Amino acid sequence: MKTAGPVLSVLLVILGIWYAATVFMNAPQVRDAARRGNVELTLGQTIAATMSEKRPMLAAPHQVAAELWKGIVSEKITSKRSLVYHALITLQATMTGFGLGVVIGVLLAVGIVYFRVIDLSVMPWAIISQTIPIVALAPMIVVLSNSLGLGDRLGVENRLVSKTLIAAYLSFFPVLVSMVKGLRSPDPMQLDLLRTYSASGAQEFLKLRLPSSLPFFFASLKVSIAAALVGAIVGELPTGAVEGLGARMLVASQFGQPLLMWASLFAATLLAGVLIVALGVVQRLADRMMGARA
């Protein structure tokens, strides 16, 4: 309740700026249409017309909300016009790529912490890999995975493999960096204490390093899953996909349907929010299992 007021205040400010921008950006085409029809519009009529354009330069918030409601609630989930249907397609690639990225990130982090040669050789390349624009890299991944026939070998669609690889590429790095920090976070005195008890390397990892890394791990997961969702959406663009939120945005852009494009964008935002909330629930359950106070 303490944060509700500030959050609502910021939301109202954003809506106010959005509506003002809607009027500013849509007014020229409204005036042009009225001029072609030899119609004189008052200021009030112009403002009202900017809020109901079928193909606006900038959709008004209530228009986006109506299109979002139509795509989520009004349409059947099995319909290809349903945003829920397309969100589930994107979610499949997101979760597959996210899982793969987490595994890669954790394994590399363990190797970096325990083996200096991996730290010196792999970590710089992992950092450099994130400087490559994903928009430029995505088509290369698509072409490479198709030429190698990875989808046929794994018994899945090539498009899913491409989207999974792109999502994994974006999601592994936050996990890698955070896990390296977390695994190295135990105090030297704590490590010395375990050694005085003749603890093995596995016991040191399981009893000290791994529990110490969990806060870093779950913090990175929230960033990683959002990055995986972005990767899955971007991966749908160069593959010629017709299903998925990214495909809906592309189709809406090509066929001049800005309302659908905005609704798909907000559907992706809602999906990201749901995934982050779900990770928060998992984190609380893990904390309880580890004996943390609620």
Q: What's the pTM value of the predicted model, to 2 decimals?
A: 0.88
Do residues 168 and 100 lie in contact, with contact meaning Cβ atoms separated by under 8 Å? Answer: yes
pLDDT value, residue 157: 76
Q: What is the DSSP string of 25-52?
A: HHHHHHHHHHHHTT----HHHHHHHHTS
Residue 221: other Cβ atoms inside 10 A: 25
pLDDT value, residue 239: 66
The topology (CATH level 3) of 83-289 is MetI-like fold (1.10.3720)
Select from 223, 131, 136, 234 the least CA-distant residue to 177: 223
Do residues 191 and 120 lie in contact, with contact meaning Cβ atoms separated by under 8 Å? Answer: no
Do residues 69 and 143 lie in contact, with contact meaning Cβ atoms separated by under 8 Å? Answer: no
Instruction: Tell me phi and psi for residue 22, to 5 degrees.
Output: -60, -45
| Rg of the Cα atoms in the chain | 24
pLDDT value, residue 294: 47
The pair of structure tokens assigned to 263 is 């609704």
> Would you give per-residue pLDDT tens digits along the chain (294 residues)?
566 778 888 989 999 999 999 999 999 999 998 888 888 888 888 999 999 888 898 999 999 999 999 999 888 888 888 999 999 999 999 999 999 999 999 999 999 999 999 989 888 898 888 888 888 888 888 888 878 777 777 777 777 888 899 999 999 999 999 999 999 998 888 888 888 888 887 888 888 888 888 889 999 999 999 999 999 998 888 766 778 999 899 888 888 888 999 999 999 999 999 999 999 999 888 878 776 554
223: Cβ–Cβ under 8 A, 6 or more apart, which residues?
A: 174
